[in-house]
Amino acid sequence: MKVGIVGTGAVGSSAAYAMVMAGVGSELVLVDLNARLAQAQAEDLLHATPFAHALRVRAGHYEDLVGAAIVVIAAGVNQQPGETRLELLGRNARVFEDVIPKTVAAAPEAVLLIATNPVDIMTQVAQRLSGLPPERVIGSGTILDTARFKALLGEHLGISPFSVHAYVLGEHGDSEVLVWSEARVGGVGLAEFAQQVGRPLGPEVRARIDDGVRRAAYRIIEGKGATYYGIGAGLARLCQAILADERAVFTLSILNPEVEGVPQVALSLPRVLGWGGVVHTLTPTLDPEEHRALRQSAELLKRAAQELGF
């Protein structure tokens, strides 16, 4: 199966590398405004295939996306010093006005997987520009935040993060909601499990984990300029789930008819992902404070989209 990646900078190339390492799909087509960059990335990735999986990797143009089952959209610009969030949104919206119609014209049946930040609003922009059903225009949303939450809980509890079932919902950003109330380990409630293994989750521990999840991107960007390995691996995992029709649950961002009373807003909720995109959206059980926080996150995203004209 063919997977396209539009935008071959740090995020797009990291996703492509993760797909080669995991053997996701059978063909990768890399498209970039900078054709020399796309060609160089494709050549470098091709040289990795003998050590991993025999994917066909090549650079191309939009017309080479024909027949792709998934197109990852990682095209966009980075925030400049002194630039406001809305200014960044405006510039990336203009990028999407060029990229999305060309992608859909070449691959009208593909699932669009949006990675460009701010990912929730860019997902809404992409859906509007593409005219595709919301379930086929999917933002990576809080998959990375959820992974961070599971990893830090596992580290504190001394267990594998694979055994932790917990979610981060809402915005992929400062207003995201860590759902502590429904987190579970091995079928046991999180607080009860922590007590049983002698590693209680007091206020200081919760605050440390919250900060570790919510502020992770800031620390990584300060140290190395951008985040890309984690999200690259996440994008590869999503592509794998779609191509295999796994019906696995991820916290993904799509345009929702309504969330917590806020209409037409894109943010992350638990969703069943399979062939063709989002199959079902789940209604999470939240405590009153988490409901309030999710509504605040939805309102923030709604205002930003309205300011942008969406």
> 223-253 burial, b if ≥16 CB within 10 A, otherwise e?
eeeebbbbbbbbbbbbbbbbbeebeeebbbb
Q: Which residues are catalytic?
A: 172
Please name the residues in contact with 89: beta carbons below 8 A apart, sequence gap of 6 or more.
118, 121, 122, 304, 307, 308
The strands making up 27-31's β-sheet, listed across from edge to edge, are 56-59, 27-31, 2-6, 70-73, 111-114, 137-139, 248-259, 262-274, 277-281
Backbone phi, psi, residue 170, to 5°: 85, -140
Query: Which amino acid appears at position 59 of this protein?
Result: A
* Contact assessment for residue 143 and residue 113, using Cβ atoms and an 8 Å cutoff: no
